[in-house]
Amino acid sequence: MWSVVIPVKPFSRAKSRLAAGLGPWRHELAHAFFLDTLWAVRNTEGVRTVVVVTADPLAAAQTRTLGAVVCPDAPGVGLNAAVRLGAAKCRAVGPEGPVAVLTADLPGLRPQELDHVLREARHHRRAFVADHTGEGTTVLTALTTAGLAPAFGSGSGHRHALSGAFPLEMPSDCGVRLDVDTPEDLARVALRGVGPYTAALFRLRKARYPVADPVQGASSTASS
């Protein structure tokens, strides 16, 4: 049984590269991305414990509502430190076992995709899934919490590979690789299909702004 760590920035500071053309909607999008990611993880077979590392009060409250564990994030420590805090929380709340870290911006993630990744990861001491560009990392796994050695940030896919983590091959258009940082990323994942929270936000925005479509038709093509 797996433990999963999801580090979450405060929504007010998240997804700055979505600001162009989306303005304040980027905060709502970051929120929806997180909820869809958490929903998918909670519905993945073999996941026992989910730990969300965050300083955002809304994220913390909804984490508890959705049956996951909150680990308070320390301000200014950075993503990799947040991952280590989450791994320590996993050790505190349950028995030692395999652990996975997921980024919180995977609105197209499907439980069966994550289940496949975790099944493959059991054969490797450390493993990772590169994002759709091949540069970043969306999932990092280890057979023990102490073995994670996170190196998230720009070019993290290369750093994780160089540190000995095994690259798990997944199609470039599957939800587990489709993290969202730019409007182009958002359009790409929307065309494939997003989770219920992001889809609902698309519908809301379309209802309020029926003429301007910020993601090139994504509002009408998103599905849960």
Report whether 6 contacts 41 (CB < 8 A). yes
Q: In sequence order, which residues have a C-beta less than 8 Å from that of residue 34 and are 6 or more positions away? A: 6, 8, 11, 59, 104, 105
For 35, residues 6+ apart whose C-beta sits below 8 A from its C-beta are: 62, 66, 195, 197
Closest C-alpha among 188, 204, 158 to residue 31: 204
Q: Per the annotation, does 156 bind a ligand?
A: yes
Buried b or exposed e, range 147-174, using 16+ CB within 10 angstroms: ebbbbbeeebbebbeeeebbebebeeeb
For residue 57, give both structure tokens. Answer: 């009060």
Q: Which residues are annotated as a binding site for phosphoenolpyruvate?
A: 137, 153, 156
Q: Which residues are annotated as a binding site?
A: 137, 153, 156
